Amino acid sequence: PPPYPPPCPQQSSPPAPQWSAPRTQGPWNPEPTRRNKKGKTAALVSLGLAVLLAVGTGTAWLVSQSGEPTTSPPPQTQPPVKTSERPVSQWQMPMIGAGGSDFTSGMSFATWLTDTAIIRVQKDGVLAYDLSTGKRTWGTPSPGEQLCGATPDAPGGVAAIAYGESGLCDHLAGIDTATGQITWQKPIHAEQATTSNTMLAPMIVSTDGLAITLIDGKVSAYSLTDGTVRWHATAPKDCSLRDTNAGPGRVVMLAHCIYPQPSDLVLVVDPETGKITRKHPSRPVHSGIVASVDPIVTQIDDAKGTHFTRYDDSGKTGEVTVDDEVDLLPLNQVVAVQGMRLHYRLAIHGDRLYLASDAENVPNSMRMRNTALAYDFTTGRRVWESSGTRASRLAYIRADDSGLLALEVGDHRDLSPRLIHIDAKTGKTKGLGGLPREFGSEAERAKVYEQNGAIVIVPWSSITASNAINYYKLP
């Protein structure tokens, strides 16, 4: 395969219908949709789309060619589905709720990529698939009525999930990503949503073996190994916490303050002790998040635009301000879930900020297009607008010294997706390889990975996608 920029740490960013008993798209069936080498589409659901249905406190499984929910025998009487162990170059797993109006049924709270598996956290459970075959390696139903949050990463093969019932997300649990085993469970404080049919999810991040939550203005750190509470942290007097994010060696919090505090604050916390090690003045936090931890970058909105401010050990080092011509719509937001960390179409590396232009309609088609925009924190100015991209939206994968690795989303009707690299100095685009047309549109609102020449697309919800997971190995 062509050379790709090496992986680097991903930047993580912060937030329908009645929440009902758990269901799932085919993940519980280990057989994904397969396609031959010529790219001809096999049946989207062959021996089955498996759907998890709530039956009292237990679960029941079905395998249906139509994918429609029906009654089935309990798990122990369900005949095993035979699957091939032979590696395949592409597979897709259909998403429950695709084409409907309930975008929460198949929505994802987090995805974790390992060397051999892709793991998806959704309302009904946590599901792991072998990358090379598409076979389900394990599936763990929610310990409660439904899941409502998860750590964005799984450092060291351990992660945390949040769950609850009756609209309260009031428990945290550890999970082993190699086996799917729940390793510990712990009650946590939960906030009740102020509107009906809405779940208020906790803000959860992770670093240095800790799951870190922001709930009702208090940050708490739990050991990912056993759930032990390591520390609690609150804002200084006359301040309240608005957001938190974490990365190796640091937890960063954004606080809104009132008189007599002279300004709002960016707080840097030691994850080992929970103690504040640095404070930096911030512009007023009317609405804002910690967009990046390494480097520290805040994203704050006000009447003049959106301000991205970069900090080092000494304080503010640069700022970029953009207006409404930039696409800053959250990729994973749904109306019925509030509070969780929202993800945006952006990438940050060193002094470089990559955003996307506001999408425009493509004439004579059903899709939209945008371009990549590069900004320099040291000058506050735009460096370039990308050239050479096709008429498609872009999904950002990662950035490094050489530039931006991205995917042209394409359209399943008339334009195949394409992996591209945009040069850091010039903004010129180089195509690295195409994907089958049926993968088009899947990455419009998704987490996208490139690993060893393979593209993994995990949509956040069914708003613009039909599949929960899409895998393609570039030739």
Classify burial at 191, counting beta carbons within 10 Å of its beta carbon; exposed 0-12, middle 13-18, buried 19 or more: middle
- The position carrying tokens 């789309």 is 49
Write down the pTM of the prediction. 0.82
Asked if residue 355 belongs to a domain, the reply is yes
Could you tell me which of 441, 443, 412, 418 has the C-alpha nearest to residue 430? 418
pLDDT number for residue 316:
84
- Tens digit of each residue's pLDDT (9 = 90 or more) over 234-253: 999 999 999 999 999 999 99
- State how far Cα 252 lies from the chain centre: 19
Chosen domain end from 158, 182, 202? 202
**Could you tell me the two tokens for 459?**
């949509």
pLDDT number for residue 58:
27
C-alpha 60/C-alpha 78 separation (Å) is 10
Indicate the helix (H) or strand (E) that contains 163: strand 158-165
Could you tell me which of 345, 458, 460, 430 has the C-alpha nearest to residue 394? 345
pLDDT number for residue 328:
95
pLDDT number for residue 439:
98
C-alpha 452/C-alpha 118 separation (Å) is 14
The residue segments making up the domain with residue 51 are: 12-202
Q: Which CATH number do you get for residue 148?
A: 2.40.10.480
C-alpha 148/C-alpha 135 separation (Å) is 25
- Tens digit of each residue's pLDDT (9 = 90 or more) over 282-338: 999 988 999 999 999 999 999 999 999 999 988 888 999 998 799 999 999 887 888
C-alpha 357/C-alpha 368 separation (Å) is 11
Q: CB–CB of 448/455 below 8 Å?
A: yes
- Looking at the 3D structure of the chain, how many domains does it have? 2
Asked if residue 220 belongs to a domain, the reply is no
Asked if residue 209 belongs to a domain, the reply is no
Indicate the helix (H) or strand (E) that contains 415: none
Q: CB–CB of 405/450 below 8 Å?
A: yes
Asked if residue 381 belongs to a domain, the reply is yes
Longest distance between any two alpha carbons in the chain, whole Å: 68
Instruction: Tell me what percent of the residues of the chain surpass a pLDDT of 90.
Output: 70
Asked if residue 208 belongs to a domain, the reply is no
Asked if residue 425 belongs to a domain, the reply is yes
Q: CB–CB of 6/398 below 8 Å?
A: no
**Could you tell me the two tokens for 347?**
């990438």
C-alpha 257/C-alpha 277 separation (Å) is 18
Please spell the DSSP secondary structure of 370-409, one letter per residue.
--EEEEETTT-SEEEE-BS--SS-EEEEEEETTEEEEEE-
pLDDT digits (tens), the chain, 475 positions: 544 544 444 444 443 333 433 334 443 443 444 444 334 333 333 333 333 323 222 222 222 222 222 222 333 323 333 445 678 899 999 997 777 766 777 899 999 999 999 999 999 999 999 999 999 999 999 999 999 999 999 989 999 999 998 889 999 999 999 999 999 999 999 988 777 778 889 999 999 999 999 999 999 999 999 999 999 999 999 999 999 999 999 999 999 999 998 999 999 999 999 999 999 999 999 889 999 999 999 999 999 999 999 999 888 889 999 987 999 999 998 878 888 899 999 999 999 999 999 999 999 999 999 999 999 999 999 999 999 999 999 999 999 999 999 999 999 999 999 999 999 999 999 999 999 999 999 999 999 999 999 999 999 998 889 999 999 999 9
Asked if residue 370 belongs to a domain, the reply is yes
C-alpha 239/C-alpha 233 separation (Å) is 12
pLDDT number for residue 85:
66
- The position carrying tokens 């304080």 is 315
206-211-215 Cα angle (round to 5): 105
Q: Is the dihedral of CA 181, 186, 190, 196 positive or negative?
A: positive
- Strand bridging mode 199-200 / 337-338: parallel
Asked if residue 6 belongs to a domain, the reply is no
pLDDT number for residue 97:
74
Q: CB–CB of 430/418 below 8 Å?
A: no
C-alpha 77/C-alpha 270 separation (Å) is 51
| φ, ψ at 5 (rounded to 5°) | -60, 145
pLDDT number for residue 80:
35
Could you tell me which of 473, 475, 449 has the C-alpha nearest to residue 34? 473
- The position carrying tokens 């998403």 is 95
- The position carrying tokens 């395998």 is 63
